[in-house]
């Protein structure tokens, strides 16, 4: 037992880390968020869909767990700005009112998320992890798990992860600096806490530690205004409440109801207001959050990593995926060109040898006449006779070969010329792929997201 139990616990820890709690090193998402985004891409990208249907699809297809946890993750995606909603998804007010039951609410994946994340989703590795095949990661130019507003707490006791969320434009600017290594472009970015109504005390050293090492402590301050001898609090540090304010005898705390945070604080006795405000800030409002990022490798191992490393890894994967997509597109055009050239040769054979009726006879004549086809690098190592036989055996091509009209011949010549142009254009795109991806990142620098 002493030998077996540690092995079981180690395997269980790796399973929990990879499939539950620790984010992926490429897209910085845990499986539940990735599976929900994938499910919404499948069934809720064009129109609003019942949340119960979305969570049911996710848990039935990809995520073998309760719909309650999936619905909570869906609400988080809404708060992060990835989902449009219909119905009550909860309010960010004083008591964080709970959302309505999933059978009463509807959601739809935002258009920019669908375009940003799923353009090349079929080109990433897919594997059968728990239920059906699913992608290893979401192929976006910038990790989708780092974009948003606020922070997400996750992880297990040994690896409690607090993921900082940034504006897309800030992440793009930071990535631009990492790619160019130009000191003039250097920028230190801070987490985005706009929806929480908070600001962050500037501390470039700690902010850069989060970017480079994955761990740093920042001071969070709720937005406040002072008026008529009272302090109006308009924000709240994530994962905190106003319970301590209500229980403080030195304060008179009044909470206003509504969809936004609004708390009025007055002194119970006459005292200097500046001293009173300092006391409130120091004891109740200003909080330090230790952001720390752990990621889980494919083998289940967990390690701490900085935002910069995640940004560069995601970008490098994206560049390779776009290149692979362009190569596939180029191969398709080469196939079309090759097919059209073979059709022209076969037509010439049929015109000169009207008695030929079988594929074998065509191939014999092809060999005797020593026809040569202009082959691309893609075809150089392949047997031309096998390629001709494969082309003829295609039923559609076989029917086309029987047509000997001049019009059809002209059309095939035009197709070959068009394919030549497409191949040339795509090869140029492949050579410029890195520059094109970099230009895309530069465009994101001016994004409002």
pLDDT at position 416 is 66
Give the residue among 239, 266, 240 at the shortest CA–CA distance from 255. Answer: 266
pLDDT at position 153 is 66
- Residue spans of the domains in the chain: they are 30-136, 323-444
Quote the CATH superfamily of domain 30-136: Topoisomerase II, domain 5 (3.90.199.10)
Residue 140 burial (C-beta neighbours within 10 Å; 0-12, 13-18, 19+): buried
Tens digit of pLDDT for each residue in 101-136?
899 999 999 999 998 899 899 988 887 776 778 888
pLDDT at position 366 is 67
Would you say 220 and 193 are in contact if contact means Cβ atoms under 8 Å apart? Answer: yes
pLDDT at position 49 is 94
Tokens of 416: 């070959």
pLDDT at position 255 is 78
Has this prediction a pTM greater than 0.85? no
Helix/strand/coil (H/E/C) assignment for every residue in the chain: CCCHHHHHHHHHHHHHHHHHHCCCCCCCCCHHHHHHHHHHHHHCCCCCEEHHHHHHHHHHHCCCCCHHHHHHHHHHHHHCCCEEEECCCCCCCCCCCCCCCCCCCEEEECHHHHHHHHCCHHHCCEEECCCCEEECCCCCCCCHHHECCCEEEECCHHHCEEEECECHHHHHHHHHHHHHCCHHHCCCCCCCCCCCCEEECCCHHHHHHHHHCCEEEEEEEECEEEECCEEEECCCCCCCCCHHHHHCCCEEEEECCCCCCCEEEEECCCCCHHHHHHHHHHHHHCEEEEEECEEECCCCCEEECCHHHHHHHHHHHHHHHHHHHHHHHHHHHHHHHHHHHHHHHHHHHHHHCCCCCCHHHHHHHHHHCCCCCCCCHHHCCCCHHHHHHHHHHCHHHHHHHCCCCHHHHHHHHHHHHHHHHHHHHHHHHHHCHHHHHHHHHHHHCCCCC
pLDDT at position 52 is 92
pLDDT at position 151 is 62
pLDDT at position 395 is 46
Tens digit of pLDDT for each residue in 409-433?
566 666 767 777 777 787 787 777 7
pLDDT at position 302 is 82
Q: Give 10-residue mean pLDDT values along the chain (449 residues).
A: 54 56 86 91 93 91 80 89 89 73 92 90 81 85 87 64 89 90 85 86 93 92 84 82 80 75 82 84 87 83 90 91 84 73 74 70 66 53 58 55 55 69 77 79 78
């Amino acid at each position: 037992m002493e030998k077996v139990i540690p092995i079981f616990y180690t395997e269980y820890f790796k399973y929990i880390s990879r499939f539950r709690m620790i984010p992926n090193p490429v897209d910085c998402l845990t499986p539940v968020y990735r599976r929900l985004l994938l499910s919404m891409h499948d069934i809720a990208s064009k129109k609003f869909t019942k949340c119960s249907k979305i969570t049911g699809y996710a848990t039935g297809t990809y995520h073998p767990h309760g719909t309650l946890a999936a619905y909570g993750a869906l609400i988080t995606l809404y708060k992060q700005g990835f989902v449009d909603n219909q119905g009550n998804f909860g309010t960010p007010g004083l008591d964080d009112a709970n959302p309505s039951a999933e059978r009463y609410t509807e959601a739809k994946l935002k258009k920019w998320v669908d375009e940003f994340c799923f353009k090349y989703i079929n080109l990433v590795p897919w594997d059968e992890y728990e239920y059906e095949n699913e992608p290893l990661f979401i192929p976006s130019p910038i990790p989708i798990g780092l974009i948003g507003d606020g922070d997400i707490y996750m992880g297990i006791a040994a690896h409690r992860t607090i993921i900082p969320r940034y504006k897309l434009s800030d992440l793009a600017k930071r990535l631009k600096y990492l790619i160019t290594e130009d000191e003039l472009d250097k920028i230190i970015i801070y987490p985005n806490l706009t929806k929480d109504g908070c600001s962050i005390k500037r501390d470039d050293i700690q902010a850069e530690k989060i970017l480079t090492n994955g761990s740093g402590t920042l001071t969070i301050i709720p937005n406040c205004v002072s008026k008529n001898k009272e302090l109006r609090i308009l924000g709240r540090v994530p994962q905190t409440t106003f319970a301590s304010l209500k229980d403080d005898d030195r304060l008179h705390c009044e909470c206003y109801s509504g969809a936004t945070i609004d708390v009025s604080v007055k002194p119970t006795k006459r005292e200097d207001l500046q001293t009173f405000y300092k006391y409130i800030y120091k004891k109740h409002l200003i909080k330090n959050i230790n952001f720390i990022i752990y990621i889980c490798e494919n083998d289940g191992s967990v390690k701490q990593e900085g935002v910069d490393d995640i940004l560069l890894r995601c970008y490098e994967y994206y560049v390779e995926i776009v290149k692979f997509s362009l190569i596939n597109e180029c191969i398709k055009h080469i196939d079309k060109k090759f097919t059209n050239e073979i059709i022209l040769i076969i037509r010439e054979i049929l015109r000169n040898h009207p008695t030929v009726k079988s594929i074998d006879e065509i191939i014999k004549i092809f060999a005797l006449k020593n026809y040569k086809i202009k082959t691309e690098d893609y075809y150089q190592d392949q047997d031309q006779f096998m390629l001709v036989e494969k082309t003829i055996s295609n039923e559609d091509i076989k029917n086309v070969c029987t047509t000997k009209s001049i019009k059809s011949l002209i059309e095939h010549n035009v197709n070959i010329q068009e394919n030549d142009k497409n191949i040339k254009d795509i090869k140029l795109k492949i050579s410029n792929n890195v520059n094109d991806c970099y230009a895309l990142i530069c465009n994101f620098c001016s994004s409002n997201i």
